[in-house]
A and B are shown apart, each in its own frame.
Chain A
Amino acid sequence: MPSTQNYAAPEAIRAERITVDGTSLRFSDATTASLSPLQTNFGAINGTQGALIGVTGYTDGTLIAGTVYGSEASGVRASTPAEFSNRDAFVLTDGSGNPRYPIRGGTDGASVAQPLTAAEVRTVLEEAFTVLSRSRAQIRRPLDSRMQATISLVDTRGEILGIVRSPDGPLFGTDVSLQKARTAAFFSGSHAAPELLATPVLPGVANVPAYVQRTRTFLNDPAALTGTVAFADRSGGNLSRPYFPDGEVSRPPGPLSVEQSAQFSPFAVGLQTDLIALNVVQHLNFVVSGGASPDTPQQCTQIPDVTPGHKRLANGIQIFPGSVPIYRGNTLVGAIGVSGDGIDQDDMTSFLGAHNGGARAGTIGNAPTGIRADRIVVNLAGGANVRLRYVSCPFAPFLDTAQQNVCDGL
């Protein structure tokens, strides 16, 4: 709070003005007035009260100016007509004017009979962007602001086939939308079980292969994670909660969560953190050793490579909603992930983007209803049963109509 003096967020847009199912988020319980008299001059304390220090890999200990968002140097800028149809869409750029992830067709021709074409990818991204542009933001003030988010599309190998984002989408959503897309593609694909089983065990730290059997036992399905079910990220999220179903504290954890509910913490959520545990340790050693110990390589999960230097989960998985797999008929061809403005909005943008784009292309679409994860019913102790969810599209989602239940029947 002292550091935001003169730059504090206006009250009208603070998180406490955001409600989620009626509950307000928290912003701060302290006020500037309740603190001791504040120093307003950094120069007066620098070097006496403390000093700037270097952190390997992050800063050399000198102050640097920010980069104007949207400029070429910031790495994010408006798209050009050659890159995307809509000027409102922003893309990632390499600092020299070249898009980092230009739209392209699927790279998985070796394992998929008919990979996504560049035209199909473009159509789905365009339709998803249209849905995004019409949608009402859930976590944005003033009310009735438009949704702002990032959309990522990947093939079955997790390779990026395109990333577009709205101008004010949160930047972290770039990474998250990609995680979501890769998670949906991975768990809906036939390689999920084999690759998890082939992931090295780190005794006492992470046992990734064990999750396969836990999942198969939990779902009472020996063929689970071999591409028979379409998992949206919401479905995998259901299985990743420390209690299953979520919130029912007398029940054991989901099979992708920690083994004992009490072990759950933001630093140990189960498969998601186990996949990257070694990478986190490697990076910490790099920082702490001042660079003496090598940093973790890119492609930072421990699952095996598909092709040398390429993994299906190259930036980890995500366990909250906002992505769906994409199918050509009954064949998985990729996945779309969205992150930025409410998980229900992210779900809807992925789902309707895949549906509308697929309908326009006429060749691809969402998973057939019969193989979606919401067909899975988990039997629990005491005779109870719980169905997994696929997506949850929000109430009154659009700014231009009062339409409800917009995903119904699709």
Chain B
Amino acid sequence: MSLAGSSLWPIIASLAAQGAPGDAVEPAPDAPPAASEETPSGDPSLDDLVPPPPPVNWQEMMSEDLVTQIIEGRRRPGYRPDLPDRLTQDNIGALRPPPPEAFPGMEDQLPVPDRWRLIESLGVVKERWFDPYHQNTYKGDRALCIPTEEEQERRARLGEARCKTPKFLGLKGDDWFFVANLISDTVFEPRTFPIPVGVQTTSRPGSLDVFGKNRSFVAAQTFIAGVALIKGSTAFKPPDIEYRLTLAYQANYVDVPERRVLDVRPSKKSNRYDSFLGVQELFIDKHLGNDSDRYDFHSIRVGIQPFQSDFRGFLFQDSQLGIRYFGNRDNNRFQYNLAAFWRLEKDTNSGLNDITQTPRDDFIFTGNLYRQDFPFVGLTSQVSVTYNMNREKNDVQIDHNGFPVRPALLGDLRGREYDVVYLGYSADGRIGRINVTASFYAALGEDRNSFFTSKPAKIRSGFGAVELSYDHDWMRFRLSGLYATGDGNPYNNTEGGFDAIFENPIFGGADTSYWIRQTIPFAGGGRVIAISGRNGILNSLRSSKEEGQSNFNNPGTVFVGLGGDFDLSPEVRVSTNFNHLWFADTSSLQALRMEGSIPKDIGFDLSVAGIWRPKATQNIVGRLSAAVLVPGKGFKDLFDNKEGDKAYVSILANVILSF
């Protein structure tokens, strides 16, 4: 199982959003309310521009007239001033002003070739290539120069550096932008979770039972480097074309206390170093046309690209090989996507896309429609239909650590395939002062071979998740609930457990929370099966979130959480989460453990996270979080540890540096 993989999705998603001004079709994955970006201090030229504050008694100083007057071109609701009579100008004999050419020497004094350079020409900001926060050509803030002879001559004349844009790109026009990204993501993660001792051998003598020591850690360093070339000129007009490539390299180290957790071979040591280079984005985005004079548009994007099925990543949130047709209508109040994906294999220990392997026989066809301000002002609704076609019946996949992942080591061990359609409704926004986000899915389909019965079974399962929050000044209070159905009878011909395609839920504290972050090996019921996957909330009993198939013979998930986000300053945020989890139905766990009495209660999942952004920007973000799982009756009935620990912890120290 992937014990080291960390979710890079949010980072990838943010990359795709950068420098693509018209690509606002996909609502952002619940970006936390961004603290307004402050004017950087220590720059006198900016300070000079800031107007002085008004006098303290400015209201008294204003005459009654000023209160009733209105600024030209503006209206004040409910106020109808008495308008003066209409004036008609009639300037008989008036002349046009002379053209600039009429003033000799004037042409030399208007050296502003484009508006992007205006701000620098005014001396407001001096571009520095290594500064991603201020205006920077390499971050897509200004158009690339085109190395034509005229341009080079002009530059030579002005004493500027030559235009270095490579000629082989064949760029023409003055609206090509280049965006480079470089991100370093460092994770150090000590955690405890129930770990079974090896069957064939153990790390130490006296290991006479199933559960061994539980303390382990992961260290992972990821570098993400991306480049994009974008043609398009304004903040409102969608770009005409975009080429993008993003690579991610991860080196990870895991140390666990027991044998045969990290590698199928019992003789292997209980630590592991691994590294991998994955292709996370590789696409062309072509603007096909505009549909209104307000730049409603339709585009097509082909290649490895990020996609998110709903606002919070419950169903499918991944960077996958696909083709996507998308656009908007009605002044951006309707947005739509039609997409098809052919899923790439993932590297086992990093979770990154592995394009050196043949893609999986697994396809996703999806369509969705967003409507703003529906049914309430401030609330965006989305309906979606997603069809996951899995044809991996004859596929045997062994992961890099030697563990079989397809078919999963569960039940009859026969290969299987399935067709499942997810019908979804999601909403995000607010109703009055209450912030709302919600997703509901029904999963309907057929699994051609239930691993319990070796017969086809209908898939009939459902999912619902709602988070309500209320903002008070610098605080946000959250109440969240989630229900994913569990299978009620493993041996009938209906699979009633809900599973997603590839979840990355931003919910209930996300990877701060223990249950979402950690993988729990289902010791006794399939030690290479995870109760819930890494960065996943669903108890889906998969061999691997990244490489395994969806499994609808699962115990389901019930979740209730209270949380708070506290923006103590623009640099510091503290979040807390008090969650409680249950299985919806433990029948499948009982059948797999040969244990007829497994309570539903998983336990309390309590966590706190601190986020520090020393420059109040996203360029340097440090995060430290700690979560504790206090096991309930069900968890205790399933698992234990040899160290006598009554609770399990997940600590995550994470530094992200972005250019």
Contacts and interface: CB of A to CB of B under 8 A. Distances in A.
Interface string B205-240: 111111100000000000000000000000000000
Interface stretch (A17-25, A117-125, A174-182, A310-318): A17-25
A221 interface: no
Contacts of A248: 265-267
B201 A22 contact: no
B529 A22 contact: yes
Contacts of B594: 18-20, 136-139, 143
A115 interface: no
A60 interface: no
A369 B411 CA distance: 37
Contact of A402 (B206, B596, B637, B642): B637
Given A17-B491, A248-B267, A406-B209, A23 B526 contact: yes
B600 to A, nearest CB: 14
B597 interface: yes
Interface in A322-369: 344, 351, 369
A143 B595 contact: yes
B147 interface: no
A230 to B, nearest CB: 12
B638 interface: yes
A22 B526 contact: yes
A143 B590 contact: yes
A304 B527 CA distance: 44
Interface string B628-647: 00000100111111100000
Nearest to B451: A24
B109 interface: no
User: Which secondary structure dominates where chain A touches chain B?
Assistant: loop
Interface string B520-536: 00111111010000000
Contact of B267 (A18, A19, A374, A385): A385
Interface string B169-211: 0000000000000000000000000000101111111111111
B412 A387 contact: no
A255 interface: no
Given A22-B592, A143-B594, A396 B265 contact: no
A380 interface: yes
Contact of A23 (B197, B210, B409, B640): B409
Interface string A385-410: 11111111111100000101111111
A248 B269 CA distance: 14
A17 B490 CA distance: 10
A19 B200 contact: no
A348 to B, nearest CB: 9
A94 interface: no
B210 A251 contact: no
A392 B200 contact: no
B167 interface: no
B267 to A, nearest CB: 4
A374 B206 contact: yes
A139 B268 CA distance: 31
B529 A144 contact: no
A389 B641 CA distance: 18
Contacts of B641: 405
A130 B529 CA distance: 33
B642 A405 contact: yes
Interface in B236-281: 264-269
A137 B590 CA distance: 13
A197 to B, nearest CB: 28
Contact of B525 (A21, A136, A408): A21
A375 interface: yes
A152 interface: no
Given A138-B594, A372-B205, A393-B208, A404 B639 contact: yes
A93 to B, nearest CB: 32
Contacts of A395: 209-211, 523-524, 593, 638, 640
A238 interface: yes
B412 A24 contact: yes
A37 interface: no
A247 B380 CA distance: 55
Given A246-B266, A247-B200, A404-B210, A387 B592 contact: no
A136 B596 CA distance: 9
Contacts of A9: none
Given A389-B200, A408-B642, A19 B266 contact: no
A53 interface: no
Contacts of B597: 143-144
A270 interface: no
A194 interface: no
A384 interface: yes
A396 B638 contact: yes
Classify chain B: how many residues form its interface, as a range.
Answer: 35 or more
Contacts of B637: 396, 402
A24 B594 CA distance: 10
B591 interface: yes
B413 interface: yes
B596 A143 contact: yes
A384 B267 contact: yes
A20 B595 CA distance: 11
With most chain B CB atoms within 10 A of its CB, the pick from A387, A390, A393, A395 is A395
Contact of B205 (A24, A26, A137, A374): A374
Contacts of A391: 208
Contact of B410 (A23, A26, A380, A387): A23
A409 B411 contact: no
Contacts of B491: 17
For B452, B454, B526, B640, which residue has the most chain A Cβ atoms within 10 angstroms? B640
Interface in B554-608: 590-597
Nearest to A144: B596
Contacts of A369: 205-206
Contacts of B590: 143
Contacts of A16: 412, 454
Nearest to B454: A16
Contacts of A385: 267
A158 interface: no
Max chain B C-beta neighbours (<10 A), residue from A138, A374, A410: A374
Contacts of A75: none
A4 B203 CA distance: 48
Contacts of A407: 208-209
Interface in B515-550: 522-527, 529
Interface string B268-305: 11000000000000000000000000000000000000
A136 B522 contact: no
Contacts of B206: 369, 374, 408-409
A368 to B, nearest CB: 12
B361 to A, nearest CB: 24
Contacts of B526: 21-23
B411 A22 contact: yes
Given A21-B527, A390-B208, A405 B199 contact: no
Given A17-B491, A22-B526, A23-B526, A394 B208 contact: no
Nearest to B524: A395
Interface in A163-222: none
A142 interface: yes
Given A392-B208, A405-B209, A380 B640 contact: no
A108 B264 CA distance: 45
A138 B200 CA distance: 19
Given A19-B593, A136-B595, A389-B202, 18 more contacts: A16-B412, A20-B594, A22-B525, A23-B410, A142-B596, A248-B265, A386-B201, A390-B205, A390-B208, A393-B208, A394-B210, A395-B209, A395-B210, A402-B636, A405-B210, A405-B211, A408-B642, A409-B206
17 contacts: A19-B592, A19-B594, A21-B525, A21-B526, A136-B594, A143-B596, A245-B265, A351-B208, A374-B202, A386-B266, A387-B204, A387-B205, A389-B200, A390-B208, A395-B209, A407-B208, A408-B642
Q: Across the A-B interface, give the 8 residue pairs with the lowest CB-CB distance, nearest first.
A: A22-B526, A143-B596, A144-B596, A404-B640, A384-B267, A395-B524, A405-B209, A407-B208
